[in-house]
Amino acid sequence: MTQIKYMILASRQGKVRLVKWYTPYTPKEKTKISKELPPLILSRKPKMCNIVEYSDHKVVYRRYASLYFICGITPEADNELLTLEIIHRYVETMDTYFGNVCELDIIFNFGKAYAILDEMLMCDGAITESSKRDVLSHIHSMDTMEGSDQLERITS
């Protein structure tokens, strides 16, 4: 199947901030994963590795400030280090976009966070756009287009 199965952003309190599913789980499975995973990840010590085996797949996570970025990946098919790299790239991109990103940015602009993620991870998590510049420029051009939409609204 696809490489990245899902991406969950969870706060230090275990609250889910962003979820993107790349594999069609049933709602039941989804709630199960998003309920079980954050506590599991949170319970890990800082000295431990960022790869966890969870049910039938592996989970790679990384903590940035108060947010945990959690990725479910396909074992055997995926490069764990690369996944960490992708997470990092995502955070970097958001950081540039929001300018020193913080948890609140993601909460209130979750649409944007999704858009960036969509630009980076395509085809159910199989393809990654590695160029930060490219991603940002497309997001910006989209934003400008939307801006002009609004301009039309205002002027009309």
Partner 1 sequence: MSSLYAPTNEDVKQRLRPFGIFFEKSLKDLIKGIRANNETPEKLNHFLAQALSECREEANSPDFNLKTNAVLKLTYLEMYGFDMSWANFHILEVMSSSKLQQKRVGYLAASQSFYKDPDILMLATNLMKKDLKYTGTDDVVKVGIALSGLSTIITPPLAADICDDLFTMLNSSRPYIRKKAITALFKVFLQFPEALRDNFDKFAAKLEDDDTSVVSAAVSVICELSKKNPQPFIQLSPLLYEILVTISNNWIIIRLLKLFTNLSKVEPKLRPRLLPKILELMDSTTATSVLYESINCIVKGHMLEEDDYDVAMQCLDRLHTFCDSSDPNLRYISCVLFYKIGKINTAFISQFDKLVMRLLNDVDVSIRSKAIELIEGIVDEDNLQNIVLVLLKQFVDQDVVLLQVGGFETTREIPIFIPEQYKIKMVNAVIHICSMDNFANLNDFEWYNAVLWDLAILSQDLSDKSLGYRVGEQLRNIMIKVPSMREITMTTIIKVLYNEEINNHLPSILKDCFWSLGEFSSFIENGDDLINLVFQRRKYYPADVEIILIPSLLKIFSNWCNRSTDIDPERVKSVLSDLLSHFEPLCYSKAFEVQERAVQCMEFLKLASEAMEQDTEGLPLLLTDILPSFFNSYELKPISQGTQQKLQSCISVDCETPFLTEEELQAVLNQEENENDEGLFSEDLLLIDDSSSASYQNQDYDVPDESKANSEEPNVLDNEELESRKRAERESNPFYLSQNNDRTSKASTQLLDFSHREADEPEAHLIRLNKNTNGTEDETERKRKSKKKHKKRVHVLSDEVVVENKPQSPTLSIQSLPTNASSSRGKISLRMPTKLEKFDFSKPLVSPSHDGTSDARRQSTSGEQDELERLRRKFETQQLEANETLENGENDEETIIIKKKKSSKKKKKHSSSKKSKKKDSVDETPKVSNDTVI
Other CB atoms closer than 10 Å to residue 145's CB: what's the count? 9
Residue 50: CB minimum distance to partner 1, A:
5
Largest pairwise CA distance in the chain: 59
Closer residue to partner 1, CB minimum distance, 65 or 140: 140
CB–CB of 127/146 below 8 Å? no
Residue 37: CB minimum distance to partner 1, A:
13
Residue 48: CB minimum distance to partner 1, A:
4
Give counts: helices (H), strands (E), the chain: 5, 7
Closer residue to partner 1, CB minimum distance, 48 or 100: 48
Instruction: Write phi, then psi, for 128 (nearest 5 degrees).
Output: -120, 130
Closer residue to partner 1, CB minimum distance, 102 or 110: 110
Residue 67: CB minimum distance to partner 1, A:
14
CB–CB of 72/6 below 8 Å? yes
Closer residue to partner 1, CB minimum distance, 95 or 132: 132
